[in-house]
Amino acid sequence: MSQPQWGRTPSTAADRQPDTAAWAYMVRCGDGSLYSGWTSDLARRLKAHRTGRGARYTRMRGEGGVRLAYAQRCPDKSAALRREAALKQLPKAEKEALAAAWAASHRITIRMATPEDGPKVAALYNWYVTHSTATFQYQPSTDESYRENIAAVRRAAPFLLAETPDGTLQGFACAHPWHDRGAFAWDVETTVYCAPDCVGQGVGGRLYTVLLALLRRQGYCNALALVAHPNPDSEAMHRAMGFRKVGTEPRTGYKFGRWLDLQTWVLNLRPGTDAPAPVRLTVGEEELRGVLAELQGTQKSI
């Protein structure tokens, strides 16, 4: 299926690519109530609500978390304002029905990627190549290079996709060897990207939780992530996932007219000083199902 037209991304200089689209949305507050609003940047607005800077209503009732409950992309601001006004007029039962339908159509499943998924993964990643400093890459990757990338990753680690029931890609996470010399055999570099309109909705965290669980099962000992700075969302997510920032290399990358630092974040998957067993390179769909079942019902429920 074709990928949606994405709006602006957070964490980048706004308006590099003019986009008139806007969103009408509802968020569910910690007390269960729904708040309706509109925005030209869904991810940024959601973050504002989650951090108590969105609206008095969500600040007062947000304890326990604010989650996106419904979003409709509109062609422009006036259409979004009209839709917001209509949402505000709806009786509670109709708002709840809309939220339930939205949740059903946005329920994500996580599966292992195959090389045939290359084009859809490349489409998502290339959005960041052309709009964001989250990656230092200048030129978009080809579909073919992503087919090869997925095949290469799968020889030693998981390549996970999060999709909605209609097959729309919401995010991906993968890992590849940190270095090819023998002593690095237990170290992997991890990567995670969400579709621009899915940022801040739990997709990246869920993908990473599953990825790290699988890497642990394979016997990897250290997960390392290279994070461009500034990238507050990625830094916050790595911190939330238990990674420690162990270094910052200043002025390492130059993109979109400015210098960027590069941070190294590390998570010890298997602490201790015992000699490690060899890493098991194969990891498949069945093992993924096992991890997903284990995580069901836990705090990190997928």
Ligand X SMILES: CC(C)(COP(=O)(O)OP(=O)(O)OC[C@H]1O[C@@H](n2cnc3c(N)ncnc32)[C@H](O)[C@@H]1OP(=O)(O)O)[C@@H](O)C(=O)NCCC(=O)NCCS
* CA–CA gap between residue 29 and residue 162 (Å, rounded): 25
3-state helix, strand, coil in the chain (%, to 5): 40, 25, 35
Q: Which of 200, 210, 213, 223 binds ligand X (CB under 6 A)?
A: 200
User: 258 pairs with which residues across the strands?
Assistant: 255
**Minimal distance in Å, beta carbon 98 to ligand X?**
22
- 258-268/67-74 β-pairing: unpaired
52 burial (CB, 10 Å; 0-12 / 13-18 / 19+) is: middle
Minimum Å gap between C-beta 72 and ligand X is 20
Q: Toward ligand X, which CB reaches closer, 83 or 149?
A: 149
Half-sphere exposure of 90 (CA within 13 A, CB side): 18
Given candidates 227, 260, 267, 269, which one binds ligand X under the rule CB under 6 A? 227
Q: In whole angstroms, how close is the CB of 78 to ligand X at the nearest point?
A: 29
Q: Which of residues 204-223 bind ligand X (CB under 6 A)?
A: 204-205
Among 160, 231, 269, 288, interactor with ligand X by CB under 6 A = 231
Q: Write the interaction track for ligand X spanning residues 234-273; mark x where CB under 6 A is met and - where it is not.
A: x-xx--x---------------------------------
DSSP output for 11-29? TS-TTSS----EEEEEEE-
- The contact mask relative to ligand X for 41-80 (x = CB under 6 A, - = no) is ------x---------------------------------
Q: How far is the CB of 225 from ligand X (least distance, A)?
A: 6
> Which residue lies nearer to ligand X by CB, 178 or 193?
193
Tokens matching residue 152? 């290469």
- List residues bridging with 27 in a β-sheet: 35, 68
Identify whether the C-beta of residue 118 lies closer than 8 Å to the C-beta of residue 147: yes
Least distance from C-beta 285 to ligand X, angstroms? Answer: 23
Does 121 bind ligand X (CB under 6 A)? Our answer is no
